[in-house]
Amino acid sequence: MNRMVIFLKGLIMFALPFVLVGCSLTPTPLPTKTPFMLTELPEGAMELSFETMVQDYHSAYRDEQTRLVVVSEPHQGQEFEATIYPGPQGPPLFERVDFTGYFVIIALHGYRPMCCPHVEIRQIVRKGNQVDMYGYFTDTAPGAPRPATAVSPLHVVKVRKDGEWGMEFTFTLYDNDRQVTETKHYIP
């Protein structure tokens, strides 16, 4: 047989299992989505300082919808802590928070039966009684291999109470510049 025909048959036999399984022979490109952040704040708005307490892929949250939770008092934290980390395996999230000067925001991506989504709060901006969180949500690219590990990602941040509070606020979570979810909460 001709060497070229033998080479082509060998190449086809090598590539066939990858095609049948659905694996790509080329690496999956990285997401092109760039995290959105405000470079100029609207008049009267202020950026709030925050620090990450926990950023994890695994929690006990099993709803598929993205959720935003605000915790402004210790008892609220204890109630919610049991829902995201039941049992003794979870870190004690809220016992080290001074709720007189801080409150906590929890962004829950939602339950995913396959790995590897991610959620990250990048910026928090307050204007009046509106608090906007600009986050970055990722998911596995279509067609990319996915480990068969169920996940429920979350990002927990501690926010410093700068300025006047003592009223109900509307908290809005954005995936880049697209609104994802909203909640209202009284911050003492």
pLDDT, residue 33, reads 52
What does residue 79 show for φ and ψ, rounded to 5 degrees? -65, -45
Tell me what the mean pLDDT of segment 118-145 comes to.
84
Tell me what the mean pLDDT of segment 148-154 comes to.
70
pLDDT, residue 26, reads 42
pLDDT confidence tier of residue 29, bands split at 50, 70 and 90: very low
Q: Which of 66-70, 92-96, 129-133, 165-169 has the lowest mean pLDDT?
A: 92-96
**Total count of domains within the chain:** 1
Q: Which domain holds residue 40?
A: 3-187
Q: CA 10, CA 26: separation in Å to the nearest integer?
A: 19
Tell me what the mean pLDDT of segment 139-163 comes to.
76
pLDDT, residue 15, reads 60
Q: What is the CA radius of gyration of the chain?
A: 22
pLDDT confidence tier of residue 27, bands split at 50, 70 and 90: very low
Residues paired with 71 in a beta bridge: 104
Q: Which of 22-26, 37-41, 85-89 has the lowest mean pLDDT?
A: 22-26
Query: Are 38 and 123 in contact, with CB atoms under 8 Å apart?
Result: yes
Predicted TM-score (pTM) of the model is: 0.73
For residue 39, is pLDDT > 60? yes
